[in-house]
Amino acid sequence: MASSNHPLAALLNQGLEAWDDLVSRLSALTLGQIWCAVNYHPFPRPVNLAIFAIVLVAQIPRLARWWATRTESRRVVRFRWPVPKEVTEGWTGRALDEPGLFAHEKDDTLLPPEAGRTGSPTRKHLTCYDPATGFHLTTLPLLTAEEVSEQILRAHNAQPRWAKTTWAQRQSFLRSLKAWVLDDMEGIVRVACRDTGKTKVDAVFGEILTTLSKIDWLLQYGEKTLSPEKRPTTMLLAHKVSKVHYQPLGTTLALVSWNYSFHNLLSPLLASLFAGNSCVIKCSEQVAWSSAWFFGGVRRCLEACGHDPEVIQLVICLPEVAETVTRNPLVRHITFIGSEPVGRKVAAAAADIMVPTCIELGGKDPAFLLPSADIDFFASTFLRGAFQSAGQNCIGIELFLVPRSLYPRFLSLITPRVSALRTGLDVGSLISHTPIPRLESILDGAVSQGARILAGGKQYHHPGFPQGAYFEPTLIVDVKMDMEVARTELFAPVMTVVPYDDVDEAIGWLNAGRFGLGGGVYGANKKECESVAERLECGMVAINDFGVFYLNQAMPFGGVKASGHGRFGGPEGLRSLCHVKAITKDRLFSLIRTPIPGAVDFPLPPDSTSWGFLRGLVRLAYDPRWWFKLLGLGEVLQNASG
């Protein structure tokens, strides 16, 4: 230890003494002494008061505008939209002998009384029914190509007026719609369940939570996302200001799938409206009944808020008519959610009219269990991931890759739980009977190749609703990656389990596949989980969870490879519905402008002045060596005048 007479020790002691003295002096000051020191006066002088009054008065218009905008944006307009009788307690419909979209062609008593008054006697119709019970809901007339074109034109004509609405008006509309969802949540859930066969729990997860998350993100971040964004500039443009502006495209088209009839309809519609566009929705024929009711609620909200409901249009038509919709020249953007074959046709049609697309085609999402995964804790997550909405979930877990070390425990834990699932209560119905023969064939083929079915594996005949489209919750194990069951999107309540020995090899299996939508990684080692997540070739990954990347609507949603392209959700999705325009202007407008130096003005000087000037300019702006920058500056000054 240094002695007390060391010079550094003496200097340190002096410093400490000075600090103690300063603290003592400050602590002795009274509040009045401090006020005087900073020239504070409890009673303002007349001059100060006059200045304050002038500043305050000058700010009154701005404050008034801010308050009016804030008040408008928070305005909630409540409205009534009665639920259909088909979802009331105790309602029982007519059970169809052969449930199907064209059941009316075999039984014309299913046609509505006004069928003869819907236009041509050859007009086609659509039978709407509950796939869980087989109950007939209604039979709707289908639109012709000409009628659909008229709808698109109406949306196109209504768009300019909607584009002039303020952020506050759009936010008020969203808050009003949110209030409807919260107030009538049970009715919305019942309608979704009636048309898709899902359970109420599945409907809340997939329809309500996601939609409210979408609305809240638009309310909190939509305006900021689409407001002009300042971008950095360069030394040569230091006197300029550069901003990116996001402007409405016009009329957008969304062709959406049936698995989440409420959310899939509202998500592209609300994003498009918030961006200032009009929107045409082409719903799936499978959920035309619920889509019409949901869509009617949104139109009613627009009317209640004082806006033209024609800015949105719902198209109910057959695929051959839908193809003409995707080629309509008034459409400026297309969102598609559905199957790969149809997605390819949509992409080709969009290419014909040169418009951007966002295409989501599903996938074969894996749950990648690392050897450190806590399978006891995550067992319930695995079941929810596989059997949510009877597996009819584009980001549902279709593959479970389980290390050999965990394989026996995984099977002993999961098998009794899958066997205990109650069809019709825990797991809802399929959307129709159509997929059942295909599912049974794929499963039988896997068994013939060595796989084992430990639960389910076949159609379920509901004792109360024999016309319902049910499939038993299924657990198939000992699956190999070259089997069809491991390569094909099943979209069904089937839990497919693949054992693996090496992590790198298993990642290679997945990355060699056609799909790349989402996935999940489970393990106790953070770095290992993150490493696997980075290496998976897909659009989204949840670590130690299932599908939460979609519940967070700040995140972009979409896949790679055969799972599609483009993103919806988050800033990326919202901005994709806009024209992106770059605007650059003088920082001090009209005071500092950009002249053309004589060295590069037309006609060019006959000597090497131009070259010397430009060489100096390049050196000055981009050469990292300071002495070359000085040389460049000299050349610029020497040759600038030409």
d(CA 367, CA 541): 10
Record the tokens describing residue 318, joined without a space. Answer: 């057959």
Record the tokens describing residue 196, joined without a space. Answer: 């898709």
d(CA 558, CA 568): 7
- The CA distances from residue 427 to 132, 262, 314, 395, in Å, are 11, 19, 30, 17
Task: Please give the full DSSP string across 375-429, using - where no structure is assigned.
Answer: HHHHHHHHHHHHHGGGG--TTS--EEEEETTTHHHHHHHHHHHHHT--BTTTB--
Helix (H) or strand (E) holding 573: helix 570-575
Reduce the DSSP state of residue 363 to 3 states and report it: coil
d(CA 124, CA 196): 22
Sheet holding 474-477, edge to edge: 452-455, 474-477, 494-500, 399-403, 366-369, 520-522, 542-543
Angle (CA) 603-607-612 rounded to 5° is 100
d(CA 573, CA 268): 9
DSSP, res 604? P
Helix (H) or strand (E) holding 13: helix 7-28
The single-letter code of the amino acid at 297 is G
Q: Is 279 a catalytic residue?
A: no
Record the tokens describing residue 88, joined without a space. Answer: 């009331």
Collect contacts of 374-378 with beta carbons under 8 A, ≥24 apart.
Answer: 374/522, 374/524, 375/406, 375/409, 375/410, 375/413, 375/522, 376/413, 378/522, 378/544
Write out the E strands in 111-223.
125-129, 136-141
Collect contacts of 502-505 with beta carbons under 8 A, ≥24 apart.
Answer: 503/370, 503/371, 503/403, 503/532
Please pick, among 285, 360, 398, 635, the residue that the annotation labels catalytic. 360
d(CA 71, CA 169): 10
Which residue is associated with the tokens 């034109």? 153
Please pick, among 394, 529, 538, 578, the residue that the annotation labels catalytic. 394
Q: Rounded to the nearest 5°, which phi and psi values hold at 579? A: -75, 130
Is 187 in contact with 87 (CB distance < 8 Å)? yes
Is 193 in contact with 208 (CB distance < 8 Å)? no
d(CA 257, CA 259): 6
Reduce the DSSP state of residue 639 to 3 states and report it: helix
Q: Is 72 a catalytic residue?
A: no
Rg (CA), the chain: 33
d(CA 325, CA 317): 10
Sheet holding 278-282, edge to edge: 312-315, 278-282, 251-255, 331-337, 357-360, 564-565
- Catalytic sites, residue numbers: 360, 394
